[in-house]
Amino acid sequence: MAEDMVREHFIPIRQRELLALLLRDIGGEKAECDQLRRLHSLLASVFHHEFHSLLNELKDHYAPFDPDLGSIHSSAPPAAAEPFLERFTFLMERANFHRLTLDEIKATANGVSAWGLNMDVDFGIFEMLEVYVRGDTVGSRPIRHWYRFWRKREIAFPKFTRLVLLVKLRPSKRVPAEIDTTRIYLKLFKDIPTMDIEMLFPGAYLKMPAFNRVQLGSSLIGSGAWIAYNLLHEILAIARFSSNIILGPAIALLGYGYKQWYGYQSTRNHFYLRLTQSLFYQTLGSNQTVLSVILDEAEEQECREAILGYYYLWRHAGATGWTAAELDTFVENDIERLAGLKVDFEIKDALSKLERLKLVRRAGDRLIAEPIDAAIKSLSNAWTAFAIVPEPRTQ
């Protein structure tokens, strides 16, 4: 990395915007700009074909576990999920997501943000639980507090820009009977406060906030004590009493108990409504849709890494080339100069793609870009091979 600081491999800029930055860096040399456009177009086409093949493969492996295809595909034994999980992990790595361990999940969920709800999660109901995150950043939202006279102020909080959840459940009293526990559920979310990821887990129970518990509990205890006092007073005041004397206070006690129970249910439903409304705006996709969205992002990441690696070796490294460390440092510094972005350029992954496509060669520990005409020819040959021998499509 160019600096000793935490950065992410993810490059948050669209392909066309990145190409525009590189063309601007070239300047007014029209011939070289045209060559770069041609190389970028071929590179994007090659990656698109490769990732289209990966998508078909993922769909085939996921079909027996897809909840949305339950009436079409019979369920498969858990061992049959291994090929899907292996390819899914590969996809998440290509899209520059980071997998959280179970300990990291529990540590991250230990708390609640100013907007979140504290949930009780039983991790024993999960046969599979995978959480992938990207964009560990700091966001801000407005909030109002009564002790500030409801004036709005901005609060900063750590968040995950993207979060992917993979879940396979076990039969449990926390899981509704209509949920098929033989299926694998995928969810994609955006802008999730790190402390609130427990809100995303199925089977989680709401923990009533302390203020509301005290409010409801003290009201019930206080009112119950008042009714009990009056009941005892009546008993002691009248030596011989009828059932009507007991019946009145008893009905009052039961009625107030129902009122408190109803108030608790209403408060709980209010918090669940907050949860539903929050996730409505932060959910980006479910099940097979998640595969398509993440695959599109992974394809873009691969193309961005490759075009950056080739461009800087071609335009700036000269005939003697650079070492991998020199290329890594130059790319990170120049992306910050051109776009104001601090990224950790994934040099190893970028070079493996460039060497596989014969766009870069090695001379000892130095990397040298092939002339751009030769690079375009190599990509044209690769694309022509795809066109002549189309991949069979499984139905």
What tens-digit pLDDT sequence spans the chain (395 residues)? Answer: 444 445 788 888 888 999 999 999 998 788 999 999 999 999 999 999 999 999 999 999 999 999 998 666 666 777 889 999 999 999 999 999 999 999 999 888 776 665 556 778 899 999 999 999 998 888 776 666 655 666 777 777 788 999 999 999 999 998 988 899 999 999 999 988 888 888 888 887 776 555 444 444 555 555 555 555 565 565 555 544 455 555 555 555 566 555 555 555 555 555 455 555 567 678 899 999 999 999 999 999 999 999 999 999 999 999 999 999 999 999 999 999 999 988 988 888 889 999 999 999 999 999 999 999 999 999 999 888 876 544 544 44
Q: What angle do CA 142, 148, 154 make, to 5 degrees?
A: 20
Q: What is the pLDDT of residue 390?
A: 47
Question: Phi/psi at 61 (nearest 5 deg)?
Answer: -70, -30
Q: Are both 203 and 215 inside the same structural domain?
A: no
In a domain, 73, yes or no: no
Residue 294 domain flag: yes
Q: Which structural domain, as residue segments, surrounds residue 48? A: 15-59+290-388
> What pLDDT, on the 0 to 100 scale, is given for residue 216?
47
Helix (H) or strand (E) holding 133: strand 126-144
- State which of 179, 207, 235 marks the end of a domain: 207
User: Rounded to whole angstroms, how far apart are CA atoms 374 and 381?
Assistant: 11
Tokens linked to 348: 């190893």
> Count of CB atoms within 10 A of residue 344's CB?
18
Under a CB-based contact definition with an 8 Å cutoff, are residues 122 and 170 in contact?
no
For residue 177, tell me if it sits in a domain.
yes
Q: Count Cα neighbours of 374 within 13 Å in the Cβ-side half-sphere.
A: 11
Please indicate, yes or no, if residue 82 is contained in any of the structural domains. Answer: no
- Domain membership of residue 87 (yes or no) is no
Q: Are residues 105 and 203 in the same domain?
A: yes
Residue 232 lies in a domain: yes
Same domain, yes or no: 220 and 201: no
Secondary element (H or E) of residue 155: strand 152-169
Give the max Cα distance, the chain.
Answer: 112
**Spacing of C-alpha 258 from chain mean position:** 42
* Rounded-to-integer distance, Cα 82 and Cα 322, Å: 41
Rg from Cα positions in the chain: 30
* Rounded Cα gap, residues 395 and 73, in angstroms: 13
What is the structure's pLDDT at 93?
92
- Contacts of residue 157, defined as CB under 8 A and 6 or more positions apart, other chains included, come to 113, 114, 138, 139, 140, 141, 193, 194, 195
Residues 6+ apart with CB under 8 A from 287: 66, 67, 68, 185, 186
Place of tokens 């027996």: 64
